[in-house]
Amino acid sequence: WRNPRCKGKLPPGSMGLPLLGETLQFFTPNTSSDIPPFIKERMDRYGTIFKTNLVGRPIVVSTDPDLNYFVFLQEGQLFQSWYPDTFTEIFGRQNVGSLHGFMYKYLKNMVLYLFGPESLKKMLPEVEEAANRKLHQWSCQDSVELKDATASMIFDLTAKKLISYDADKSSENLRENFVAFIQGLISFPLYLPGTACYKCLQGRKRAMRMLRSLLQERRTMRRNQQRDFFDYVLEELQKKGTVLTEAIALDLMFVLLFASFETTSLALTLAVKFLSDHPLVLRQLTEEHEAILNQRENADSGLTWKEYKSMTFTFQFINETVRLANIVPGIFRKALRDIQFKVSTKRLMEREVGLISMSHADAGYTIPAGWAIMVCPPAVHLNPAKYEDPLAFNPWRWEGVELNGASKHFMAFGGGMRFCVGTDFTKVQMAVFLHCLVTKYRWKTIKGGNIVRTPGLQFPDGFYIQLKKKDTRKQETTLHKQS
């Protein structure tokens, strides 16, 4: 157990207890905005690459920017996407396998078609309308819990685009089932009526039942609207010799809806939290968006694609938000062959200046075939050798930096071939929402906003704000006085 067989030299690290490995330590929730304690302690002890055992699998954890980059580049060659069996059980048996199998290609094309730049351009007024409608509703309430509120806005819009689901017309609420599912995700795995785990699986069952009946309805219904995921699935199912099944398609739909609204709503919640805590950032963001309105002939005409593309500071702000949010704490792969990897002298020097201990100076390691590897974005995003004062929220650090795509030091949306296909959609939703928020509203924080982090899910402890329509004239005077 402790010394697994290996043809070369395994990275340092402990395999933990028989069967359990280090699973319990790994899954302990924390509220630190720093590198998760589990990872940080081991980085200090073993260096940038270490071995462990989680949920019964030997795993190499990489916090090394060069190895992470190599893993992304070698997708499909030396490494393949892999997610732990617990994910497979929870998200649907078909899912994880199919994500790196044949269906993956279709899924990616579908998302690119629905949320690619051409579609997003057309969608801009719809996104703006949804944000304005929700903000208006919230400003009529005493307070709103922002994570839930933004999740509802994003879910409705995404479900409308993906499966033409209309929340206002439906008798059962699809998102409520997802909420029950999510609340139980981090629960103790005791499947008895009344427990969170039971509610979680019931939520998933009900959501799947709804998706199935929506697909059935579609079989009998003609539509003139833009093609959506269901049209595509039905077409595919009719093809001779297709490997796609209804079950696989529905599982994929479930995961896609989950992946799209949980992530973006968390990013937006944190964005508002950062704005509340950093008045100078709020001021510069507001100025950027007010300038857009001032340059228009008619301030009430909707956002144009050109205006969206001109939001330089907003994109810096979004990058800084997702860097610190670390929404995806681990990206998993499986090694297809024995892989040799040597930690670069540059990284060893980073250690020498005291960032990481020097206890493993001779750092040439083997990752055995079949082992899992977990790329750890938080360690990359909070690396003091790359990001000065890494825990500080500083959108200005992105000035003049390429903001699209991934790099060795920025992997909030993954990297390489599996780079997140929803990135552009996320950025449009965030930028448009922020535009409507800062130009028309002011708010005050009531309570909460801390992020509870587990390796599978990050969620705020309840972030309540009170939102009020802005008196634009008053605001200008205040800003003037402040400056």
Residues that bind ligand HEM (CB under 6 A): 81, 107-108, 111, 115, 256, 259-260, 263-264, 267, 322, 327-328, 331, 412-414, 418, 420-422, 425-426
Choose among 460, 469, 468: nearest CA to 151: 460
| Vertex 103: Cα angle to 97 and 105 (nearest 5) | 115
Q: How far is the CB of 152 from ligand HEM (least distance, A)?
A: 15
Q: Please give the torsion angle defined by the CA atoms of residues 105, 107, 113 and 119, in that order, rounded to the nearest 10 degrees.
A: -150
DSSP codes joined into one string, 281-337: HHHHHHHHHHHHHHTSSSTTSPPPHHHHHT-HHHHHHHHHHHHHH-----EEEEESS
Q: What is the DSSP letter of 3?
A: S
Q: How far is the CB of 354 from ligand HEM (least distance, A)?
A: 30
Is 6 among the annotated ligand-binding positions?
Answer: no
Q: How far is the CB of 157 from ligand HEM (least distance, A)?
A: 10
Q: What is the DSSP letter of 21?
A: B
Q: How far is the CB of 100 from ligand HEM (least distance, A)?
A: 7
Helix axes 246-277, 229-238, angle to 10 degrees: 160
Backbone angles phi, psi at 412, to 5 degrees: -60, -30
CA distance 29 to 193: 24
Q: What's at 167, amino acid-wise?
A: A
Q: Where are the alpha helices (DSSP H) in 47-169?
A: 65-73, 85-91, 93-99, 102-115, 117-139, 146-163
* Nearer residue to ligand HEM within complex by CB, 108 or 283: 108
Q: Under 8 Å CB-to-CB from 229, ≥6 apart: which residues?
A: 110, 114, 162, 163, 253, 256
Q: How far is the CB of 111 from ligand HEM (least distance, A)?
A: 5
Q: How far is the CB of 106 from ligand HEM (least distance, A)?
A: 11
Residue nearest to ligand HEM (CB): 422
Q: How far is the CB of 359 from ligand HEM (least distance, A)?
A: 31
Q: How far is the CB of 374 from ligand HEM (least distance, A)?
A: 10
Range 232-255 burial, b when 16+ CB lie within 10 A, else e? bbeeeeeeeeeebeeebbbbbbbb
CA distance 53 to 374: 11
Spatial contact of 459 and 147, defined as CB atoms under 8 Å apart: yes
Choose among 268, 321, 264, 313: nearest CA to 292: 313
Is residue 466 exposed (0-12), middle (13-18) or buried (19+ Cβ within 10 Å)? middle
* Nearer residue to ligand HEM within complex by CB, 268 or 467: 268
Q: How far is the CB of 161 from ligand HEM (least distance, A)?
A: 8
Q: How far is the CB of 427 from ligand HEM (least distance, A)?
A: 9
Residue 111 token pair: 């998302």
Choose among 113, 134, 132, 135: nearest CA to 122: 113
* Token pair 């990206």: residue: 331
CA distance 17 to 89: 23
What is the enclosing helix (H) or strand (E) of 377? helix 377-381
CA distance 185 to 100: 23
Q: How far is the CB of 301 from ligand HEM (least distance, A)?
A: 27
Binding site for heme: which residues? 420
Binding site: which residues? 420
